[in-house]
Amino acid sequence: MGSDHTHRRWSHLRKVLERSGPFCRPDFEPSPDTLQFLMENCKILVIGAGGLGCELLKNLALMGFRKIDVIDMDTIELSNLNRQFLFRHKDLGSSKAEVAAKFINNRIPACNVTPHCCMIQDKDDTFYRQFHIIVCGLDSIVARRWINGMLISLLTYNDDELDQSSVIPMVDGGTEGFKGNVRVILPGITACIECTLDLYPPQVTYPLCTIANTPRLPEHCIEYVKVIQWPKENPFECPIDGDDPQHINWIYEKSIERATQFGIRGLTYRLVQGVVKNIIPAVASTNATIAATCATEVFKLATSCSASLNNYMVLSNVDGIYTYTYEAEKKHDCLACSQISRELEIRDGNIKLKELIELLCERHDLQMKNPGITANVEGKNKTLYMQTVASIEEKTRINLSKTLMDLGLADGMEINVADITTPNTMTLKLKFKNTDVEMGV
């Protein structure tokens, strides 16, 4: 294994990989070949080159991984520099993936990080299939759900038996302020993102009536200016840009006026920024802890030198340090990873297509964003509604106010749903709770 220098450089890894120990997995065989596999063959994809991504890339490269790809569509902003330590002032405006890859490649000899400056949705199954392990440092639930769906679509089955070689493990890290979590997902084997979807609370929104009539919190006043006053007065003749100080200032002043009117205290410029951009401050130490855990899990998966995290770790640094690990359970009828077709219970055929779409978006176990619906009606495949393509949206908009019965849908029929939260079309079987209506009773 190369020069004496290289030998010494990895001496700590060799202690773990060339000796046995009580925590090794049963299939682990101590050997110098493992380090060689890690360096020469093991391909890792890092999704996200932000707060977690920078840490992940640094950790993985220093742990011996050399074939790393990183994907991120964002460019570097000034506010990133306090924690996204692979970026410098001169890099503002450049691609995060490209700058991060270049930094690591220059700093760590023989490491080869390949950047991809695009959305994860721009890559197809052949791209994702080439990796041994995928590790995510994302701040978007939609993106997590999409990559989860992609990895599940890569699974192959022989007579209902999962082909283990088609499983690409996914290590997922997430942080929010002083809190974080890490999970290890073996698609098709352990709980996937969709199995535990109800863990993600829907984004905080305030009832419009409260905002408009009975504001109690400074947030209510800011929301009022944001959703009601801005569109009405349109001060800059454009949508709100949370990074434009003039816009924030306008919202701040109007919010103060409203807060004063209702005797509400505690409204600050910072709070306005937070509410408008919907942000929770990123904390560098939380990112570092979560990324370190993720990188360790990747190392364990790649080498079998220790059993994996099973399978969901939470970390809270809010009040001291607290961490806890539990096993999230696979949902037997998970829409993404079970082989069971899913029923969608609705009142009856009298509900409108619009209401069906609302249901798909609101249900905690579905949380879709812009579902498009097709169905096979009387032997023909019909698009009932599709929001994502303007011309089709226009043609199908009329269906929104029609009832399911009008559209030819009956109890027990299937609808196909496409959504940005998944690369795959999902099939849902309609189940009417009240079948009498349909029979005309």
Q: Return the active site residues.
A: 209
Contact call for residues 437 and 349 (beta carbons, < 8 A): yes
Closest CA to 114 of 162, 45, 59: 45
Least separation in angstroms between residue 181's CB and Zn ion is: 17
Place of tokens 């290590």: 171
The closest alpha carbon to 303, from 31, 12, 4, belongs to 31
Residues 320-339 that bind Zn ion (CB under 5 A): 334, 336-337
- Residue 72 or 194 with smaller CB distance to Zn ion: 194
Tell me how far apart the alpha carbons of residues 35 and 74 are, in angstroms, rounded to a whole number: 33
Cβ 180 to Zn ion shortest distance, Å: 22
- Count of positions on this chain that bind Zn ion (CB under 5 A): 6
Closer by beta carbon to Zn ion, 101 or else 335: 335
Binding to Zn ion (CB under 5 A) within 404-423 occurs at none
Site for Zn ion in 55-114 (CB under 5 A): none
Q: Looking at beta carbons only, is 69 or 194 nearer to Zn ion?
A: 194
Footprint (CB under 5 A) of Zn ion, residues 192-211: 192, 194-195
What is the nearest approach in angstroms of Zn ion to the Cβ of residue 188? 9
Nearer to Zn ion, 98 or 194 (CB): 194
Closest to Zn ion by CB, 14 or 183: 183
Q: Give min distance, CB of 21 to Zn ion, in A.
A: 33
Could you tell me which residues come within 8 angstroms of residue 317 by beta carbon, excluding any fewer than 6 positions away? 178, 179, 283, 285, 286, 289
Residue 366 makes contact with Zn ion by CB under 5 A: no
* Residues of span 153-192 touching Zn ion by CB under 5 A: 192
State which amino acid sits at residue 179: K
User: Smallest distance, Å, CB 191 to Zn ion?
Assistant: 6
Least distance in angstroms from the C-beta of 290 to Zn ion: 22
In the complex with Zn ion, the residue whose CB is nearer, 192 or 283, is 192
State the Cα–Cα distance between residues 291 and 137, nearest whole angstrom: 8
Cβ-count burial of 64 within 10 angstroms (0-12 exposed, 13-18 middle, 19+ buried)?
buried
Interface with Zn ion in residues 336-365 (CB under 5 A):
336-337
Residue 230 has phi, psi (to 5 degrees) of -60, -50
Calculate the CA 128 to chain-centre distance. 16
Complex with Zn ion: residue 192 or 386, whichever CB lies closer? 192
Q: Shortest distance, CB of residue 336 to Zn ion, whole angstroms? A: 5
* Nearest residue (CB) to Zn ion, 68 versus 197: 197
Query: Which residue's CB atom is positioned nearest to Zn ion?
Result: 334
Beta carbon of residue 55, minimum distance to Zn ion (angstroms, whole number): 27
Instruction: Give the binding site for Zn ion (CB under 5 A).
Output: 192, 194-195, 334, 336-337
